[in-house]
Structure 1
Amino acid sequence: MNLRRLKYFVKIVDIGSLTQAAEVLHIAQPALSQQVATLEGELDQQLLIRTKRGVTPTEAGKILYTHARTILRQCEQAQLAVNNVGQCLRGQVSIGLAPGTAASSVTMPLLQAVRNELPEVTVYLHENSGTVLNDKLLNGQLDMAVLYERAPGAGINSLPLLKEDLYLVGTRDCPGQSVDLTAVAEMNLFLPRDYSAVRLRVDEAFSLRRLTAKIIGEIESIATLTAAIASGMGVTVLPESAARSLCSATNGWMARITTPSMNLPLSLNVSARGSLSPQAQAVKDILMSLVSRPTMENHELQLVS
């Protein structure tokens, strides 16, 4: 194997088409196909399945893809580290953010701090579900991710940052500053899908109290959830930082859920398969400093010791 063939292979899998990959890589398609054939010969495995719709990786191809991305990223980091000796840090740092996390409130402070302290570093922010973010960490597409994590999977190192209480948010019939879970069971709920950390925590609480939630819709999009809550059709459950944002956007109310009280741990995840580049480590230090401030958004968060 050589780095060029690995680069070609990753690009083909990312695009899902030999023809389009050849155009992006500025190489003739027959030559690109030969590079894949050589790689398959070296590994004695079929790596791609060719169909009329394009190409997809075989099981062996999926394994190689994961390792290839890590290898290419480490080579890039090695080159940057050498180039950065005696100079200011430069390059790109990619950060994943789960929707509604407390980290979303420090996005602008983070960008400003990086601009001030690391002027040659570009920050790439990617918002997605926790599952997708962890997959991208393992594939080398992200340097780090901030998300609600209760049980990180294999290959992920998770650093606890803080905990956030869960709040009920709505626009009609405010129950007061706090609300019992039995009262929440009587309300129409908009919740994310069942793989969401918030949804898992809510389902767990209802199950332990032997209650049944009246879920009238499952919504992932913050924009759609904002419109749904503003309409008054139902209420939702969110961590405090996201609840405050939604409450402000809808001119609504928020009530802390009690009996039982519920919270979620916010974590900073990185891949266990490789070390961070110097610029990524520097951005990580800034991010941790911002996220762990107990006065963030002027409300108290429970810091994890």
Structure 2
Amino acid sequence: MELRHLRYFVAVADEGHLTRAASRLGIGQPPLSLQIQQLERELGTALFRRLPRGVALTEAGRAFVDDARRILRDVDQATGRVQRVARGELGRIRVGMINSAPFHPLIPQVIREFRRRYPNVAFSLEERTTPGLVTAVRNENVDLAFVRPIHGSSEGLIVEPVLDEDMVIALPAGHALAKRRQIPMLALSIEPFVLFSRAVGAGLHDEIVAACRAAGFSPRVVQEASQVTSIVNLVASGLGVSIVPASMQHMHTEGVTFRPIARPIPKARLSMIWRQADANAPQLIRLRELVREIVPSPRAQRRRA
């Protein structure tokens, strides 16, 4: 028995007439009669009584027609689900992000818009450090992650830059340097630093250290932290100064003053990563397309600057 047999049977049952059913199906009446006869032989019973002007369901036919309709309906629904998954409109996606990503307005905008456009895609979020997210993506616990620059091998992953964000100086409230509109890096040469741990934030750590050395000094690190939110809170407690992504100003943490850095300005790169083997997964394609639609590329950001 094939699905076409069920479709032919239901069409004849609906029309009560072989010729009208054949016209509806777009086939000839003799081939349709043959298909119905094959179905009846396979079931071992007559499904229709032949009338002078059409056909009527037998008792067995009436019992069978509801099941046939249900099977065809289930097949149509299954086909629709498969096609929606293939278009990225159904299924699930697991997204990871570093602690500072939600403070940049473009990232929450991407998430909100994805959930609005694809409400039937189960969307879950997970927050980890960059090394933790790299491991989670590799282990297939996360499908796509927003990370800082990766320290070490990115084999098996695709890394696409999303944005290059200016970094700013975070000072304890009332600090003497807070009176300046812009602060050159050299002005921090005698300050105690609260800095990212290189083990979990190698990209930002190296960018900050390189900017300090380019200005002629090495930062005097008195405390390390693994999360940028922790760094801002440690600065607020008066432990030292730091250099953080500009979007951290959206934390509105009491006790911290942020000031721009005089050129050259160090950058905090945010990238998205995903498994090379899953590059064509429909939900991933939809999310990547949306990120590219909403967030200007780093090259476009530099041109705008």
Which TM-score band applies after superposition, normalised by the shorter structure?
0.5 to 0.7
Which residue of 2 is the match for residue 290 of structure 1?
294
Query: What secondary structure, in the 3-state scheme, does the structure 1 residue paired with 2:253 have?
Result: helix
CA 194–140 in structure 1, closer or farther in 2 if over 3 Å, else same? same
Contact 1:162 1:302 in 2 (8 A): no
Which residue of 1 is the match for residue 166 of structure 2?
165
Query: What secondary structure, in the 3-state scheme, does the structure 1 residue paired with 2:271 have?
Result: strand
Supply the distance in 1 between the matched residues of 2:127 and 2:276 (Cα, whole angstroms).
21
Which residue of 2 is the match for residue 185 of structure 1?
189
Which residue of 2 is the match for residue 275 of structure 1?
279
Query: What secondary structure, in the 3-state scheme, does the structure 2 residue paired with 1:178 have?
Result: coil
Supply the distance in 1 between the matched residues of 2:79 and 2:287 (Cα, whole angstroms).
15
Query: What secondary structure, in the 3-state scheme, does the structure 1 residue paired with 2:183 have?
Result: strand
Query: What secondary structure, in the 3-state scheme, does the structure 1 residue paired with 2:243 have?
Result: strand
Supply the distance in 1 between the matched residues of 2:216 and 2:240 (Cα, whole angstroms).
22
Supply the distance in 2 between the matched residues of 1:198 and 1:81 (Cα, whole angstroms).
47
- State whether structure 2 residue 131 is matched by structure 1 residue 127: no
* 1:47-62 equivalent positions in 2, closer than 5 A: none
Which residue of 1 is the match for residue 27 of structure 2?
none
Which residue of 2 is the match for residue 236 of structure 1?
242
Identify the range of structure 1 (110-119 vs 84-93) with the bigger mean alpha-carbon deviation.
84-93
Q: TM-score, normalised by structure 2?
A: 0.62
CA 262–99 in structure 1, closer or farther in 2 if over 3 Å, else same? same
Superposed CA deviations along residues 250-272 of structure 1, whole A, max 9, x for unmatched, are 25322222354211332221112
Which residue of 2 is the match for residue 110 of structure 1?
110
CA 226–207 in structure 1, closer or farther in 2 if over 3 Å, else same? closer
- State whether structure 2 residue 148 is matched by structure 1 residue 142: no
Supply the distance in 2 between the matched residues of 1:138 and 1:187 (Cα, whole angstroms).
39
Supply the distance in 2 between the matched residues of 1:117 and 1:261 (Cα, whole angstroms).
37
Deviation of 1:301 after TM superposition, in Å, equals: 5.3
Query: What secondary structure, in the 3-state scheme, does the structure 1 residue paired with 2:278 have?
Result: coil
CA 148–222 in structure 1, closer or farther in 2 if over 3 Å, else same? closer
Which residue identity lines up with residue 82 of structure 2 in the other structure?
Answer: N
Which residue of 2 is the match for residue 245 of structure 1?
250
- State whether structure 2 residue 101 is matched by structure 1 residue 95: no
Which residue identity lines up with residue 234 of structure 2 in the other structure?
Answer: A
Contact 2:186 2:216 in 1 (8 A): no
Supply the distance in 1 between the matched residues of 2:97 and 2:303 (Cα, whole angstroms).
19
Deviation of 1:111 after TM superposition, in Å, equals: 3.6
Deviation of 1:93 after TM superposition, in Å, equals: 0.8
Supply the distance in 2 between the matched residues of 1:141 and 1:228 (Cα, whole angstroms).
32
Deviation of 1:224 after TM superposition, in Å, equals: 3.3
Supply the distance in 1 between the matched residues of 2:118 and 2:159 (Cα, whole angstroms).
25
Supply the distance in 2 between the matched residues of 1:155 and 1:110 (Cα, whole angstroms).
25
For the pair shown, the structure with the greater C-alpha radius of gyration is: 2
Supply the distance in 1 between the matched residues of 2:116 and 2:246 (Cα, whole angstroms).
29
- State whether structure 2 residue 89 is matched by structure 1 residue 84: no
Deviation of 1:120 after TM superposition, in Å, equals: 0.6
**Once superposed, what is the RMSD of the aligned Cα atoms?**
3.2
